Amino acid sequence: MRLSPQEYVRYTPEQIKSANEINLIEYAERIGYQLEKSDRKSLHAKKSGGLYFFPDSNKYYHFSTDKGGGAIDFVMQFENKSFPDAVATLLNGNTMNFCSRQPSDKKSYVYSRADGTESIVTPPEKAPNYKRAYWYLCTVRGIDPEIVSRLMNEGKIYQQNLRGNCMFLGFDENKQPKYCAMRGTSDKPLRF
């Protein structure tokens, strides 16, 4: 079942963790993959173009596409599903306990566009500390620590809670956010 953008749900970290902890080997066998022992640490999927499963870590790797990951990544890649659909699939489609896309406890801002329509801006949730973003900006990007600290204290830069991305907020003259940009803080591609 494909959800429309209006029906997307936001999963709690516990739900995402539960979906990723689904036994990937059992799931792959359930959807039709025939697995054979490759070596003592991996299983190979027959007729799969180099698809291997690693029971110890509950991960997979596909040599043909040079992609791998956990259960959610597997469902997204091999069943061509979006992140919300993949999580719902792994949790047996049970979305009854999922919170809405915009939780009411988050601070949202309404702003008017040039064409007269209104939009709601809900910046991503802030992390309890900004260590990763601070390290990334100062060490990797070479920005003066004093500047980074000042912008963080002003609320213009912060670290996203779920993925640790570095968030940059732009404000109007009324101190309402009008712009939000995100930058990954690790050597891996940016994740949402």
Give dist(CA 145, CA 143) in Å, integer.
6
**Which distant-in-sequence residues (6+ apart) come within 8 Å of 12 by Cβ?**
98, 99
Asked if 144 and 172 touch (Cβ cutoff 8 Å), the reply is: no
pTM of the model: 0.47
The full DSSP string for 68-84 is EESHHHHHHHHS---HH
Please name the residue that has the structure tokens 């022992």.
37
| Tens digit of pLDDT at every position of the chain (192 positions) | 444 444 456 778 888 888 889 899 988 888 888 998 888 889 999 888 789 999 999 999 998 889 999 999 999 998 888 888 888 888 874 433 333 333 334 566 555 556 666 666 667 788 888 888 888 898 888 999 899 989 988 888 998 887 788 888 888 888 877 777 888 877 665 554
Give dist(CA 174, CA 40) in Å, integer.
62
What is the topology classification, in CATH, of domain 5-90? DNA Primase; Chain A (3.90.580)
Domain boundaries, the chain: 5-90, 124-183
